[in-house]
Amino acid sequence: MNSLSSDVRLPLYQRLRDHLAQQIANNRWRPGEAIPTEAALSAEYQLSTGTVRKAVDALVSEGILERQQGRGTFIRRPQFQSSLFRFFRFQTAAGERQVPESRILSIEPVTAPSAVAQALGLPLEAPVIRIVRVRLLEVQPVLAEEIWLPRSRFQALLEIDLNRQGPLLYPIYEEVCGQVVAYAEETLTAESVNHLHARLLQVPVNSPVVVIERLARDYAGTPLEWRRSRGHAEHFRYSVDIR
Amino acid sequence: MNSLSSDVRLPLYQRLRDHLAQQIANNRWRPGEAIPTEAALSAEYQLSTGTVRKAVDALVSEGILERQQGRGTFIRRPQFQSSLFRFFRFQTAAGERQVPESRILSIEPVTAPSAVAQALGLPLEAPVIRIVRVRLLEVQPVLAEEIWLPRSRFQALLEIDLNRQGPLLYPIYEEVCGQVVAYAEETLTAESVNHLHARLLQVPVNSPVVVIERLARDYAGTPLEWRRSRGHAEHFRYSVDIR
DNA sequence: GAGTGGTCTAGACCACTCA
DNA sequence: GAGTGGTCTAGACCACTCA
């Protein structure tokens, strides 16, 4: 038997949700692992199954846990590939979806400019890593990306050859640095492309591009990565439901 | 006592949810009205309160109902103003938010071009209404909008002076035509502005604009309105959370 | 067949609203 | 003080998974 520490004025299901979220943030279980069964949680915290289910429901709807009937409830491994597809219609001539290739143009230790320091919650001129890359689909550049990481957590990236890895960075962050991206927030704007990005994207100067800024965080909410991606507006289409 | 008609293989809470959704779509209650209390629904359908709550929970999370503790559960009146603010940062110099004014440039009965007929689910060349307007903030145009409506439901709009109404069309649709917008789906892209829209928005030809296409539906899911809005990219900023 | 999550019951008691 | 939604209990039984 265990007990819930947080604010006693909150409902029990809320306190259990917070307690579980805290343990997930502290890496008590790794992504893909199961948490204790509902019966075990009921017994451990002396709560009815209905109350336990309501706490687990909340974490499931937040995208942190994933239920599988008959098997258990698991820490969800985020699937950020799909978020990319929400924004861009990267398709081959045959119409199938495809993860764009990655070509790293540079990776280097630098000090954080003020916008980056602010986004990542670091002091000005804190040590960071800056990565510049383009994403390509059938030799055509579709996205130009600038990526900033706090050096304290990602030092190990400087010692490997990123161009020999797959096109997705988040699995590499997890394997090489033990850092798991749990959430992200994206902001979209549009602009006329400047000379530098026009060259990287192989489009005429001043054509319209979509700009996507993304701040990615770990389970505890600490910022892990800030990136700014630019893509030609022709490939861009984003849908959202409103109620 | 009443009984649920839908597929008996579905869980009871699901069948009650579908049953209530059907009645809402059939206008059994108007927006702002209360549905029966949980106790009344339990008695009417011979279900426990837990099951009734789960059905109501589903409709609440879909944005169709709204709970108010101690008062009741109400048909939600959609607040589409807020969706506009998610996309554009329309702000006065003082920083406060403001609904942009509306200036109707034209409203006329026409036949549906193929893209419009397809979006609204109408036959080609079906009778529709086309509205062109600009939205202004402190005399500055911020959005140029083209709006298409099925004439069968919106005929009454042709008989009033829209420029003597408020800037929001959805309350007018409800008051004048009895049509309630329940959901909408928006798609975002960007483009270089052409001569016509450059003039309406008072921006240089070829500057980047954001294009928002919106399909609005009633509670039954029938398309009510299709609109395409263009705004200068400088005023545009859209944020989304990803998990 | 043992173990898991999914559905459902029949309540009790609490917090809030409103006349 | 009557009526509403909000929380919580202590289960029972079902559907699914996996050895």
Nearest neighbour of A243 by CB, restricted to B62, B189, B237? B62
Tokens 């959430």 belong to A183
Nearest neighbour of A208 by CB, restricted to B50, B208, B242? B208
Tokens 């916008």 belong to A115
Residue A78 pLDDT exceeds 90: no
Rounded to whole angstroms, the Cα distance separating A55 from A21 reads: 10
Are A99 and A168 contacting, i.e. CB atoms less than 8 angstroms apart? yes
Which residues lie closer than 8 Å to A93 by C-beta, 6 or more apart?
Answer: none
Check B78 against A237: CB less than 8 A apart.
Answer: no
How crowded is residue A189: how many other Cβ atoms within 10 Å of its Cβ? 18
The pLDDT of residue A167: 85
Mean pLDDT across chain B:
88
A50 CB neighbours in chain B (<8 A) are 50
Task: Dig out the tokens for A55 from the structure.
Answer: 């706490």
For A136-148, what is each residue's pLDDT tens digit? Answer: 988 889 899 999 9
Check B190 against A182: CB less than 8 A apart.
Answer: no
Give the three-state DSSP class for A225.
Answer: strand
Helices (H), chain B: 12-25, 38-45, 49-61, 80-87, 114-120, 151-154, 169-172, 195-201
Element (H, E) at B65: strand B65-68
Residue B90 or B121, more confident: B121
Q: Which B residues between 18 and 57 have a beta carbon under 7 A from any strand D atom? A: 34-35, 37-40, 49-50, 53
Rounded to whole angstroms, the Cα distance separating A208 from A186 reads: 19
Residue B203 pLDDT exceeds 80: yes
For B79-101, what is each residue's pLDDT tens digit? Answer: 766 666 666 665 555 555 667 88
Residue B219 or B199, more confident: B199
Q: A 201-220 residues with CB below 8 A of B?
A: 206-210
Look at residues A90, A100, A53 and name the one whose alpha carbon lies nearest to residue B54.
Answer: A53
Look at residues B211, B221, B213, B152 and name the one whose alpha carbon lies nearest to residue B183.
Answer: B221
Check A83 against B236: CB less than 8 A apart.
Answer: no
DSSP-derived letter for residue A36 is P
Tokens 């960007």 belong to B190
Residue B56 pLDDT exceeds 80: yes
Query: The pTM is what?
Result: 0.79
Which residues lie closer than 8 Å to B105 by C-beta, 6 or more apart?
Answer: B132, B133, B134
For B96-117, what is each residue's pLDDT tens digit? Answer: 566 788 999 999 999 999 999 9
For B127-178, what is each residue's pLDDT tens digit? Answer: 999 999 999 988 889 899 999 999 999 999 999 999 888 888 988 998 899 8
What mean pLDDT do residues A213-241 have?
A: 87
For A150-184, what is each residue's pLDDT tens digit? Answer: 999 999 999 999 988 888 898 899 889 999 888 88
The pLDDT of residue A123: 96
Residue B234 pLDDT exceeds 90: no
Task: Dig out the tokens for A137 from the structure.
Answer: 């689909």
**The amino acid at B104:** I
The pLDDT of residue B87: 65
pLDDT tier at B220, thresholds 50, 70, 90: confident
Nearest neighbour of B186 by CB, restricted to A189, A206, A242? A242
The pLDDT of residue A204: 94
A236 CB neighbours in chain B (<8 A) are 188-190
Are A205 and A194 contacting, i.e. CB atoms less than 8 angstroms apart? yes
Are B65 and B35 contacting, i.e. CB atoms less than 8 angstroms apart? yes
